[in-house]
Structure 1
């Protein structure tokens, strides 16, 4: 069996209701307009309106949020990691 499987994360959006992110390993920060998550695939920054986090389960890697998602940006590593190699 191949132990070098790439890790992945996914996001499911229900328009007008909210969204679910899978593959989350940590929560970096969050407000009612922005959520920054650490995922198996890197950093994920979500921006929107009226964010209300309903569920954070780091054992299963699931975060559920109500609110309007306007944008998302994915990054491989943080600026600090790139600066201090």
Structure 2
């Protein structure tokens, strides 16, 4: 039987590529106007776009709301995140 307490859940709602609501967020790793990196229950999530900014942040509830023009969402596990960071550092 599946234990509902241990079940990971995440919802992503996007409205017209301008408003993004994400649940299941554990931490905001980094952000600027073109890229957000969030640690979520399902791995690291990178959001790319233009004029991105946080409209609402509640890590207690695991909720982040981002406004701006969203161009893409990409998941990576912790190993990929470290590899990507080191790759950028030593380019």
Q: Give TM-score scaled by structure 1 length.
A: 0.83
**Structure 2: 5+ residue runs without aligned partners?**
84-91
**Quick check: which one's strand share is greater?**
1
Map 1:69-80 onto structure 2 (within 5 A).
69-79=70-80, 80=82
Q: Which residue of 1 aligns with 2:8?
A: 7
Q: Give TM-score scaled by structure 2 length.
A: 0.78
User: How many residues are paired up?
Assistant: 81
CA distance in 2 between counterparts of 1:6 and 1:76 reads 17
Map 1:57-76 onto structure 2 (within 5 A).
57-76=58-77
**Quick check: which one's helix share is greater?**
2
CA distance in 2 between counterparts of 1:55 and 1:73 reads 21
Map 1:1-85 onto structure 2 (within 5 A).
2=3, 5-79=6-80, 80=82
CA contact (8 A) 1:43 1:78 kept: no
CA contact (8 A) 1:26 1:58 kept: yes
Matched position secondary structure for 1:78: helix
C-alpha RMSD of matched pairs (Å): 2.0
4+ residue runs over 6 A deviation: none
